């Protein structure tokens, strides 16, 4: 009886214990519009990138594995294999938009060929080129204080992105400063200015169109 049980255990090990682990990693990437997350983004480039250990050496750069362009559905499928992959990411590019990168942990993805769903909202961008001029101040010898305030968009996929600071800033009397900022396109940018000798604050806003360029002079 004992030899029979030993043979049975060995047979079970051969049949089940040595079955290779799943290696196929598939992604279903759903790309939508930032301002209207229920609408697909058409024509975006979706790239699957990875860091892989090769012959014991880690490639410090991400290598492109596969890319696709979103059709009318906004959905593409990409795939790779699990072996020796240490890091994964999905990069989405679109003209006049911010690049979006989604980092993925290979330990957390399914490796049996079942698609791992990744949702990405593509955000349009607008360039703001501003000059803040305090050479013709209504208050001689006073600093100008100014502040940017991006306006949020209701029901958007995330908060507005703005690459310049939103704290109060100071420009000395007789000085001029320049600011180059990127903001989410299709939004309003509020700007405020005041001088210490005045009781009022200059308040205004500018429309930043998707893919647009705003030339702004604050004096």
Mean pLDDT to the nearest integer, 65-87: 91
Identify the structural domains of the chain with CATH numbers, from first to last: 20-122 (2.60.40.1120), 125-218 (2.60.40)
Model confidence at 8: pLDDT above 90: no
Report the pLDDT value the prediction gives residue 18, as an integer from 0 to 100.
Answer: 47
- Round to whole Å and give the CA distance between 212 and 76: 28
pLDDT in tens, 10-45: 444 444 444 445 588 899 999 999 999 999 999 999
Report the pLDDT value the prediction gives residue 5, as an integer from 0 to 100.
Answer: 45
The single-letter DSSP state of residue 95 is T
Question: Which candidate, 149, 109, 132, places its Cα nearest to that of 216?
Answer: 132
Backbone angles phi, psi at 106, to 5 degrees: -55, -25
Report the pLDDT value the prediction gives residue 215, as an integer from 0 to 100.
Answer: 96
Model confidence at 69: pLDDT above 90: yes
pLDDT in tens, 86-112: 889 999 999 999 999 999 998 888 888
CA 60 to chain centre: 21
Concatenating the DSSP letter of every residue in 113-170 gives EEEEEEEEEE-BEEEEEEEEE-SS-SSTT--EEEEEEEPP-TT-SSPPPBSS--S-EE
Question: Which candidate, 185, 181, 179, places its Cα nearest to that of 212?
Answer: 185
Which residues, including other chains, have CB under 8 Å from residue 208's CB and lie 6 or more apart?
A: 126, 128, 183, 184, 185, 186, 187, 188, 189, 214
Mean pLDDT to the nearest integer, 170-179: 92
Residue 160: pLDDT band (50, 70, 90) is very high
pTM score of the predicted model: 0.80
Higher model confidence: residue 196 or residue 42?
42
Model confidence at 7: pLDDT above 80: no
In this structure, what is the dihedral angle of CA atoms 108, 114, 157, 185, given to the nearest 10 degrees? 100
pLDDT, averaged across the chain: 87
Report the pLDDT value the prediction gives residue 141, as an integer from 0 to 100.
Answer: 85
- Round to whole Å and give the CA distance between 10 and 88: 38
């Amino acid at each position: 009886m004992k030899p029979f049980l030993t043979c049975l255990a060995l047979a079970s090990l051969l049949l089940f214990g040595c079955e290779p682990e799943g290696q196929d990693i598939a992604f279903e990437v759903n790309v939508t519009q930032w301002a209207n997350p229920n609408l697909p983004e058409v024509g975006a480039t979706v790239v699957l990138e990875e860091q892989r250990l090769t012959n014991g050496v880690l490639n410090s750069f991400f290598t492109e594995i596969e890319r696709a362009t979103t059709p009318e559905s906004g959905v593409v499928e990409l795939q790779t294999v699990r072996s020796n992959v240490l890091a994964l990411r999905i990069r989405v590019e679109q003209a006049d938009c911010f690049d979006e990168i989604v980092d993925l942990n290979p330990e957390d993805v399914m490796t049996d060929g079942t698609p791992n769903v990744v949702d990405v909202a593509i955000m349009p961008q607008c360039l703001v080129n501003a000059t803040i001029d305090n050479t013709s101040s209504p208050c001689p010898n006073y600093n100008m204080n100014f502040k940017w305030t991006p306006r949020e968009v209701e029901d958007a996929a995330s908060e507005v992105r703005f690459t310049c600071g939103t704290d109060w800033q100071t420009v000395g009397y007789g000085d001029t400063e320049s600011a180059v900022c990127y903001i989410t396109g299709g939004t309003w940018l509020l700007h405020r200015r005041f001088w210490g000798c005045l009781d009022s604050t200059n308040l205004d806003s500018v429309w930043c169109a998707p893919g647009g360029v705003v030339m702004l002079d604050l004096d």
